[in-house]
Amino acid sequence: MTTLRLGAARRFQPPLRLTVGVSAGAWLVAWFAEAPLSDWLTFSVLGLERGSQFGEAVAFFLLDVPKVLLLLVGIITVVTLIRGFFPPERVRAALAGRGRMTGTVGAASFGIVTPFCSCSAVPLFIGFVEAGIPLGVTFAFLISSPMVNEVALVLLWGLFGPGIALVYMAAGLTVAIVGGLVIGRLGMERYVEDYVWALQGKGVTLVAAPLTWEDRIHDAWAYTKDLVRRIAPYLLIGIGIGALIHGYAPTDLVAAIGGRSNPLAVPIVVLIAIPLYSNAAGTIPIVQALLGKGMPLGTTLAFMMAITAISLPEFIILRRVIRWPLIAAFAATVTIGILFIGYLFNFLIV
């Protein structure tokens, strides 16, 4: 056991409370002023005609871009702040020694709040195995963490409404839990690289560092700024294309490819989603426009899940710790889960 003491005095100019208060106020004003403002801009200032193809496309763009950006900035700052309290090191301590079911459900749930990026998949995997956490529980976390992420939820909420974001979260959790249980049953421990097993029980347990609120708010804001800056260009392009579809694309065409009448729509969108990995910001606005033209909910959910959870770079990176048969089992489980969710929702919601 190594105990750590972290956090240092930071020199900062205006009082923190003031900065946070003013920013939150400005955010709220912008949130409520956004829709009327974009409407006024489109139809009064630009003088576009209501109901015209071009006018509707521009209105769509001017409404969605600020809305999604505001949601991203607001929600991600808050989520990052919250999840600062749930680092993977702490999650691991909470999961170690639990039963199969509790562990799997717990791992999937923690996946919602813990940060994840492909580059940390390997240290995370090693850390879990090292603490004696079963393979199935580890995979429940590896499925849920990237799939149920705040960017996906914000985009779904901003473009489709809070209901669909919640449905997505529930569906993602289900895929993670069932996937974790299935992988746990397969008994594929022999496909984990030997050096990973050799590390078991040798790790140090780090005690979570007592960070100050200044540290936490500073970190959350720095992370949000960086993330929004990275995805904003894709978002603009995505919403731009979405606006064109919204204004111009014929409903029949989209319905023929992604619509209810095409029984292969779900696998087709999953295939399309694979190379789009981690680019939810650029693709979801397009999907939203398509949905408006008749793409059903299950197909949409499957598309979003495939974008976030089926990641070729992550599969390749995991090769450092597990061998191909297990990677294939992981990929297959996730893909089947996504297809199932897609067909289920298309069947349930007419």
User: Which positions touch other proteins (CB under 8 A)?
Assistant: 2, 4, 6, 8-11, 84, 87-89, 92, 115, 117, 119-120, 122-124, 126-128, 130, 195, 199, 202-206, 209, 218-219, 222, 320-321
Q: List, in sequence order, every residue forming a beta bridge with 192; answer none if it has no partner.
A: 322
Closer to other proteins by CB, 64 or 130: give it: 130
Tell me the closest approach of the beta carbon of residue 16 to other proteins, in angstroms: 15
* Minimum distance, C-beta of residue 338 to other proteins, in the bound complex (Å): 26
User: Considering beta carbons, is residue 200 or 262 the nearer one to other proteins?
Assistant: 200
Least separation in angstroms between residue 88's CB and other proteins is 4
Nearest distance, CB of residue 2 and other proteins, angstroms: 7
Q: Which of 258, 261, 339, 338 is nearest to 292 (CA)?
A: 258
Q: What is the distance between the terminal CA atoms of the chain, rounded to a whole angstrom? A: 56
82-107: burial string, b at 16+ Cβ within 10 Å, e else = ebbebebbbbbeebeebeeeebbbbb
* DSSP secondary structure, 88-103, as one string: HHHHHHHHTT--HHHH
- Looking at beta carbons only, is 121 or 188 nearer to other proteins? 121
Question: Cα separation of 79 and 61, whole Å?
Answer: 26
Report phi then psi at 49, rounded to 5.
-85, 130
Residue 39 vs 89, nearer CB to other proteins: 89
Quick one: 80 or 335, whose CB is closer to other proteins?
80
DSSP 265-302: HHHHHHHHHGGGTT-HHHHHHHHHHHHHTT--HHHHHH
Which lies closer to other proteins via its Cβ, residue 50 or residue 320?
320
User: What CA–CA distance (Å, rounded) separates 266 from 264?
Assistant: 6
Q: Which is nearer to other proteins, 111 or 240 (CB)?
A: 111
HSE-CB for 118 with a 13 A CA cutoff: 15
For residue 1, the minimal CB distance to other proteins (Å) is: 10
Q: In this complex, which beta carbon is closest to other proteins, that of residue 27 or of residue 191?
A: 191
User: How far is 113 from 81, CA to CA, in rounded Å?
Assistant: 10
Q: 122, 118, 127: which is closest to 87 by C-alpha?
A: 127
CB closer to other proteins, 276 vs 317: 317
Q: Which residue has the tokens 């936490």?
A: 216
- In this structure, what token pair is assigned to residue 132? 């004696």
Residue 140 CB neighbours (<10 A): 32
Phi, psi of 322 (to 5 degrees): -130, 155
Q: What is the dihedral of CA 179, 158, 232, 146, to 10 degrees?
A: -10
Q: Provide the minimum distance between the beta carbon of 323 and other proteins in the complex, in angstroms, as a whole number.
A: 15
Q: Which amino acid is at 279?
A: N
